[in-house]
Structure 1
C-alpha cells in the first residue's frame, strides 16, 4: 500500500512537471519504459550484475519518471521557447539536472531515506553526464557516473531524438539508433550501448505503442 502510494506520488510529480511543456508530452512514460527495457536486457546478459540486483532494478524503474523533476525550476521563457536556446538560455536549462538532484536530496532529508530516492537523485542529477567526462553538471566520467544515470542517458536521448520539437522534426528510429551508436564510448557507456544496439527494435515497438 505504501509503495503504491509512493509510485502514484512520483508519477504525479513527474506529470506535473511535464505538463508545463506541451512539446515533451509523454516523455516521462516513454523514457521509463525504455529504462525498463534496457535494464532487463542488461540483467538477462548478466552485465553489471554486482549492481543490478533485484532491489536496485526495481527501484531504478520506479524512480525513472523523476529524472526531469528539476525542470520545475526552469522559467517558462526558457522551457517553452519556440526555437533554439541561445547560449545563456542553454546554460540556464542545464541547471535542471542539479536542481533535480537537490530537490530529491531534500526529500531524502525529510524521510527515512527510501532506497529508490537515492537512485532517483542519481538519475535526476547525472543523466546528462557523458562517458568521456564532458557532460554536466559535475563532469563525471566513465563509471563515476551512476549506473542508473548511464541507462537513463540512452533512454532520454533516444526519446529526444525521435520526438518532434519546436526546433527540429522527429528523427526516424534508425537515425536515432545511428546517433546513439556513434556516441559509444564518448557520450554513452560502451557496454550499455552495445546492448542497446542488440535490442533497439524493442525501443521502436514501445515508442509505437506509447
Structure 2
C-alpha cells in the first residue's frame, strides 16, 4: 500500500513472497497428509510467477521453458491485473494500454507464444 516506489531494501523483502507462498502451500499440503495435485500446481505458480522469459526474474532466475508453464501463464495474468487495477501508488490503466505493455515485454518478460495467445483472446 506504499504510495510510491519501493526502495532496494523494500523490494528485496517484497521479492520473498514467491518463496514464502511456496513454503505456505507446502506446509498446507503437509498438514493435509499428502500430495495434492491442486496444491502442487498452486505451489508451482506461487514460486514461479515472477520468473521472466529472459532469465531476469526471481526467485531462481529461470529462463524460457525452464519456467513451468503454469508460472508463465500466471505471469501474464498477474501483470495484466496489476496494470488494470488501481493501487495506492498508481491509477488503473485501460485494457488496451495494458495489452500494449504486455506485448512490449514479449520475449523479455513473457513467453512469446503465450503472449500471442493473450493478444488473440484480449481483443
TM > 0.5 = yes
TM-score calculated relative to the size of structure 2: 0.94
Q: Which residue of 1 aligns with 2:75?
A: 153
Shift of 1:163: 1.0
Separation in 2, partners of 1:99, 1:188: 23
Q: How does 1:33-182 map to 2 (within 5 A)?
A: 80-110=1-31, 111-182=33-104
Residue 128 of structure 1 aligns to a residue whose secondary structure is: coil
Show CA shifts across 1:82-106 (max 9, x none). Answer: 3221111111011101100111112
Residue 15 of structure 2 aligns to a residue whose secondary structure is: helix
The 10-residue stretch of structure 1 (110-119 or 176-185) with the greater mean CA deviation from structure 2 = 110-119
Show CA shifts across 1:123-167 (max 9, x none). Answer: 101100000100000101111111111111000000100111122
Aligned length: 122
Shift of 1:81: 2.0
Residue 137 of structure 1 aligns to a residue whose secondary structure is: coil
Q: Give yes or no for contact 2:2–2:89 (8 Å, CA) kept in 1.
A: no
Q: Which residue of 2 aligns with 1:194?
A: 116
Q: Which residue of 2 aligns with 1:43?
A: none
Separation in 1, partners of 2:108, 2:75: 12
Residue 130 of structure 1 aligns to a residue whose secondary structure is: coil
Separation in 1, partners of 2:99, 2:2: 27
Separation in 1, partners of 2:17, 2:75: 15
